[in-house]
């Protein structure tokens, strides 16, 4: 798994507004984290327990770059997710991969690692039927990045007007169905981008505790919502926060309450 390029880190350091770390301290932490990660990789087969400890130490240094250094960088969050995954902390691995996704949504290595870690989760959810239908019909809205949809909009628009111009002189070369198909495809891309630009972005999160009892209300006195606890790595949508508790919606549409200290939120950019 790759690490952040030093030049990219220095660029982010220059962009940070009020970092608590000096550039020299941040560079030292970055180099230490990379070296610990490298050493852990070398030890992973010979001494897995020692390797896990080194991965944890690398993660702590990456975390300090984020928290004390004020650095918000997709590649840094990606490294942090890698370190936590290698340290067997699936919840924090997914959380940081999701954070990285805000900055580098189309990165193939990130998407591959995120999909792999999700395949290791203990909790399994079947999405609501309505959600499954929407994701199938509007796959481009959910699976294509905004940049790709903009590019497709430009492509469909260009082809539409080119065919329309051709149709003025050679009607048989530009059938009406082709123009209609390009118009529909362009409208779908435009509508998808407009919905994304105007809709309120939901706050999402990830359970970090190894397991947590989901409850029917915001307190330990409420009955459990489910027969089994929720486990680290389970993703959710935040509905409400109250008195140290989150009301969340799970991928299958069920809702429950969990303590705020059992989860982490994916911040908006």
What pLDDT is stored for residue 236 in this prediction? 97
What average pLDDT does this structure show over 80-105? Answer: 96
Report the alpha-carbon distance of residue 267 to residue 124 in Å, rounded.
24
pLDDT at 138: 83
Q: How confident is the model at residue 132 (pLDDT cuts 50, 70, 90)?
A: low
Q: Alpha helices, DSSP H only, in 18-145?
A: 23-43, 48-67, 74-86, 90-103, 108-119, 129-137, 139-143
Query: What tens digit of pLDDT does each residue of 152-202 get?
Result: 999 999 999 999 888 888 877 778 888 899 999 999 999 988 887 776 678
pLDDT at position 120: 94
Contacts of 105 (CB under 8 A, 6+ apart): 145
Task: Provide the pLDDT for residue 17.
Answer: 41
Tokens of residue 135, six digits: 């994701």
Q: Which of 89, 91, 117, 122 is nearest to 229 (CA)?
A: 122
- Say if residue 7's pLDDT is above 70: no
Q: What is the pLDDT of residue 145?
A: 76
Region 2-16 average pLDDT:
42
* Measured CA distances, 129 to 6, 231, 238 (Å): 46, 23, 20
pLDDT computed for residue 129 by the predictor: 63
pTM score: 0.74
| Cβ atoms 81, 97 nearer than 8 A | yes
Residue 263: predicted pLDDT: 98
- Higher per-residue pLDDT: 109 or 200: 109
Among 123-132, 180-189, 200-209, the minimum mean pLDDT is found in 123-132
Over residues 54-65, the pLDDT tens digits come to 999 999 999 999
9/29 Cα distance (integer angstroms): 11
Average pLDDT, the chain: 88
């Amino acid at each position: 798994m790759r690490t952040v390029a030093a030049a990219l880190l220095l660029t982010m350091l220059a962009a940070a507004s009020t970092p608590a770390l000096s550039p020299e301290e941040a560079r030292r932490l970055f180099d230490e984290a990379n070296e610990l990660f490298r050493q852990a990789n070398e030890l992973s087969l010979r001494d897995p327990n020692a390797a896990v400890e080194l991965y944890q130490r690398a993660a702590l240094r990456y975390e300090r770059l984020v928290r004390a250094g004020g650095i918000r960088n997709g590649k840094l969050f990606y490294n942090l997710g890698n370190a936590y995954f290698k340290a067997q902390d699936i919840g924090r691995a997914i959380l940081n991969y999701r954070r990285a996704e805000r900055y580098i949504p189309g990165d193939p290595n990130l998407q591959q690692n995120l999909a792999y870690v999700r395949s290791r989760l203990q909790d399994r959810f079947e999405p609501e039927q309505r959600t499954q239908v929407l994701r199938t019909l509007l796959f481009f809205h959910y699976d294509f990045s905004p940049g790709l949809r903009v590019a497709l909009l430009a492509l469909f628009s260009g082809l539409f007007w080119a065919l329309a111009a051709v149709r003025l002189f050679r009607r048989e070369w530009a059938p009406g169905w082709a123009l209609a198909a390009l118009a529909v495809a362009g409208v779908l891309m435009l509508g998808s981008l407009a919905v994304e630009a105007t809709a309120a972005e939901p706050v999402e999160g990830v359970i970090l505790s190894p397991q947590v009892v989901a409850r029917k209300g915001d307190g330990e006195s409420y009955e459990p919502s489910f027969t089994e606890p929720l486990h680290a790595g389970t993703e959710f949508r935040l509905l409400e926060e109250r008195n140290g508790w989150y009301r969340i919606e799970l991928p299958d549409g069920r809702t429950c309450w969990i303590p705020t200290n059992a989860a982490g939120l994916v911040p908006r950019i």
